[in-house]
Structure 1
Amino acid sequence: MIAETTAGPVRGVPDGPVTAYLGIPYARAGRFAAPRPVPAWNGVRDASSPGPAAPQPPSRLERVMGAFHVPQAEDCLSLNVWAPPGGGHPVLVFVHGGGFTSGSGGLAWYGGAELAAGLVVVTVNYRLGVLGFLRAPGVSDGNLGLHDQLSALAWVRDNIAAFGGDPGNVTVAGQSAGAQSILALLAGGRARGLFRRAILQSTPAGMAPDSPADAERNGRLLLEHLGTDPFDAPVDDLLAAQGAVARGTAAPLSPVPPFQLVAGGLVPEDLTAAPGDVEILMGTTRDEAAAFFAGDPRAAAMRPDELERTAARWFGDPGRATPGGRTADRIAADMVTDHMFREPARRLARTLTDSGNAPWLYRFDWDPGGPYGACHCIELPFVLGTEAAWRDAPMLAGTRPSRLVREVRRAWTGFVRDGDPGWPRGTTRHFS
């Protein structure tokens, strides 16, 4: 249960039939600095518990996924590996979502022990919010969290063989902001050679990267709210200033965070211009944005004309807030699902198909009968984690069919292993 990394040996712990190596540092970074290699350590490093999460406020999606309380620290660049016996296994690297503001690869929700049957599973922490995505001249150029992800993928390339993984057969998967990050790396070409396949789960591709000017405006607001040197300010003060910017700049109920990907350099303006040399499995859930709006009294109180104006502020396109017997919160959810998830996914699929790289498509339709339907994040419990880890997630309404767990994991595993999720390329599989 000892694996040798480029920085030194690590000792894992049994986790069912596999060995878990948790909290392995893959890089180090000072505040607002680029990630750099981890210094070598002496002796065998204990890898029995996840590393701290990046500093963050409570998740906006607590009401659908549930709350989590884990240690947080700026020194957060670690990853977790679940390794089955033997060697030469395909590798799945998972990048968590959370709107570039919350989440952690070390959460029990993303545990890889059950999925790691014939696969090596890796989950990653990266910097979030103002610490990961601030752009302010003299402080940060932005996209530090994306640089962290690149460093993690480079670590996998250089180290995963020691855990029984095949560095030539790596698939990277991401959900929500994690999928958006992967799309940016694909479109920008900076991850070339680091993975051969990608799984894009609920990519918010309708949320364009911020322009440098917009990002720098939010950066100036952050520094004004902070009122002190950002390099020396307490983390809690940075998070408080981040929250003040979010409250002061967002359109009502906007799902777009104030600190996210910034176009330029690492990130192209058009994320849907993905290259055609990486095999892609991609899809959405049926009711994506219900996670943000269903049952929200602020959305329910909005008139159709207000919804149209709000959509125009979010996406530059007012859409059509036609009632059709729906409540205002459901209209808002449907509009955002179309603008942010469904239509951009269709455009990306057409682009890939036209380039000769048709993706495998899916839609997650399973609905437990609760208020959120088949909402954003609903597929996650069927990919990673255990029944116990997801037991209290409100979006599941107390149920998680084992049949569907097997179906989804069979598809994901087949794609990671040999590029075959179980249905023809260019067609859509509905999970229900």
Structure 2
Amino acid sequence: MKSQQKGIHIFDARFGKIAALKKDGVIKAKSIRYARSERFQKPVPIERSTSDILYPDKTPVCPQKLSPLVEKMIGRTPVEEFEAEEATQYLSITRPENITENENLPVLVWIHGGSHEIGCGDLTTADPTEWVKEQHIIVVTVSYRLGLFGFLGGDEKRPANLGLFDMIEALKWIKANIADFGGDPENITLLGQSSGGDAIAHLMISEGVDDLFKRVIIQSAPLGLRHKRKKMSAEFLKKTEEIKDETDVLKMMDEYDKFVPSFMKFGLKAAMPFGTQYGFPPLCTEEESVEKWQENAKKYDVLIGLNNDETAFYLKTSDALNKYFGKGLGLKIMDKTVEKTTEFIYGAPARKFAEDYAKAGGNVYLFRIHSQLKENPIGAPHCIDLPLIFGNEAAWKSSEMLKNIPWERIHENGKKLRALWAEFARTGKISDQSERPEILKIQKIHF
């Protein structure tokens, strides 16, 4: 590895010479293409480059529509810094600036959330700089195809699970190349939140992933919505047939809303119309899934959990609902609805997953994040774990979700949480002696 002028670092890797940014105590190799794809085709891995690999001026992102709720609760998306691209197979690597020559750092691979239809690996709200410096680890952030391009399929022309196939190619790239960046290819942990956690749970039972990772951290995975999605997906696929060949991807994004399955017809799962699809490669059938997780229980260490008030992110932030349920008896009804829906979508499925896994001999921890702030009316909602894990106060300054929470509290609890998650990534264990943040309840599941 050779350093060039200040601010630039060149990795002389087997994959090629990769230019990286050196800033704030870390080195970041941005937007490395790990595969390519044609529309609705499986990804093809990239071969070694004979020319220098330079990071693009704008961050590639899968075509998508902005979510008004995400813009309000998390913060504005800097669209001017992104460029829409269908074949969004890119990853970025963040490692400490100073490591010893033969050091093998634990590697965490971030699989972002966003209902399988929005987001990318390189959002500022998930910039791992603070975590990398504090814990002396490597974090790889992965972008993959979303929505119509990655998580809706079911026939020969439009295969299902292309987003999962992208992730598998990314993991193969990481396994083969991460040693050139100071990472340990034998100690790779997958970390995912929301739909990213759902994807990781299903990567655990996918074909073609043997020896690609050792541990998983699954945060706020909506596993309660994974059941009996086949009819909904088939109807959605059929409805979108008329826009599948649209060449203007932004027009395609504008139009697909009218084809989204009816919430009334399909229930809560229609709130996440895109998703992993059982019965299509690389997955087994839904009926086989629990048995597959149990078969693999001794392969992967698992840390799984949720936030105490997940659905408050959607329910308590609705102006329409708050008009009727914002105070008095209405607020009590709202609180009960948040409690019940959080348990149905996130809580009960996480506990069942952990208990089944432990029963099969797996090493598994179950956690729950609480708020404990009376002046914070939405409690610990969906996505509250993101500023805790990634920090980066500047990126969260416009977040409605954090407006009643002092950043010092986020930082204090987040630093302890980051230390615990890094301990798990290093060892597969969390010691009883390790300091816990006051917002966290965590237990090892025994059977």
TM-score class, shorter = 0.7 to 0.9
User: Could you tell me how far 1:185 is from its partner in structure 2?
Assistant: 1.1
Show the counterpart of 1:394: 400
Q: Secondary structure at the match of 1:383?
A: helix
User: Could you tell me how far 1:239 is from its partner in structure 2?
Assistant: 1.3
Relative to its length, the structure with more helix (as a share) is 2
1:66-107 Cα shifts (integer Å, max 9, x gaps): 221332221321111011223311100010000001111111
Decide which moves more: 147-156 or 292-301: 292-301
Q: Secondary structure at the match of 2:120?
A: coil
**Counterparts of residues 144-293 of structure 1 (less than 5 Å):** 144-188=162-206, 190-208=208-226, 211-224=229-242, 226=243, 230-246=244-260, 248-251=261-264, 256-264=271-279, 265-268=281-284, 269=286, 272-273=290-291, 274=293, 275-276=296-297, 277-293=299-315
**Counterparts of residues 30-109 of structure 1 (less than 5 Å):** 30-47=38-55, 51-59=59-67, 60-70=69-79, 71=82, 72-84=84-96, 85-86=99-100, 87-109=103-125
Corresponding residue to 1:17 among 3, 17, 25:
25
User: Could you tell me how far 1:51 is from its partner in structure 2?
Assistant: 3.0
C-alpha separation in 2, matches of 1:128 and 1:9: 29
Gaps of 5+ in 2: 1-8, 442-447
User: Could you tell me how far 1:254 is from its partner in structure 2?
Assistant: 6.2
The residue type paired with residue 399 of structure 1 is P
Question: Per the alignment, do residues 334 and 302 of structure 1 end up closer, same or farther by CA in structure 2, a change over 3 Å counting?
Answer: farther
Show the counterpart of 1:310: none
Q: Could you tell me whether the CA contact under 8 Å between 1:222 and 1:241 is conserved in 2?
A: no
Question: Per the alignment, do residues 13 and 210 of structure 1 end up closer, same or farther by CA in structure 2, a change over 3 Å counting?
Answer: farther
Q: Secondary structure at the match of 2:306?
A: strand
Corresponding residue to 2:388 among 382, 385, 397:
382
User: Could you tell me how far 1:187 is from its partner in structure 2?
Assistant: 2.8
The residue type paired with residue 314 of structure 2 is F
Q: Secondary structure at the match of 2:131?
A: coil
User: Could you tell me how far 1:394 is from its partner in structure 2?
Assistant: 1.4
Decide which moves more: 254-263 or 105-114: 254-263
1:13-55 Cα shifts (integer Å, max 9, x gaps): 1132121111111111111111111244442222376631111
Gaps of 5+ in 1: 304-322
User: Could you tell me how far 1:164 is from its partner in structure 2?
Assistant: 0.4
Residue 125 of structure 1 pairs with residue 139 of structure 2: no
Q: Could you tell me whether the CA contact under 8 Å between 1:100 and 1:260 is conserved in 2?
A: yes
Q: Could you tell me whether the CA contact under 8 Å between 1:12 and 1:48 is conserved in 2?
A: no
C-alpha separation in 2, matches of 1:132 and 1:2: 32
Q: Could you tell me whether the CA contact under 8 Å between 1:92 and 1:122 is conserved in 2?
A: yes
User: Could you tell me how far 1:137 is from its partner in structure 2?
Assistant: 2.7
Question: Per the alignment, do residues 236 and 47 of structure 1 end up closer, same or farther by CA in structure 2, a change over 3 Å counting?
Answer: closer
Q: Secondary structure at the match of 2:278?
A: coil
1:337-361 Cα shifts (integer Å, max 9, x gaps): 0110000011011101111214122
C-alpha separation in 2, matches of 1:292 and 1:172: 26
Aligned length: 407
C-alpha separation in 2, matches of 1:287 and 1:95: 22
The residue type paired with residue 111 of structure 2 is V
The residue type paired with residue 278 of structure 1 is Y
- Alignment identity in percent? 29
The residue type paired with residue 409 of structure 1 is R
Question: Per the alignment, do residues 263 and 390 of structure 1 end up closer, same or farther by CA in structure 2, a change over 3 Å counting?
Answer: same
1:369-407 Cα shifts (integer Å, max 9, x gaps): 333210011011111141112222211115332211211
C-alpha separation in 1, matches of 2:162 and 2:406: 38
User: Could you tell me how far 1:159 is from its partner in structure 2?
Assistant: 0.7
Q: TM-score, normalised by structure 1?
A: 0.86
User: Could you tell me how far 1:329 is from its partner in structure 2?
Assistant: 3.8
Superposition CA RMSD, Å: 2.7
User: Could you tell me how far 1:209 is from its partner in structure 2?
Assistant: 5.4
Q: Could you tell me whether the CA contact under 8 Å between 1:28 and 1:77 is conserved in 2?
A: yes
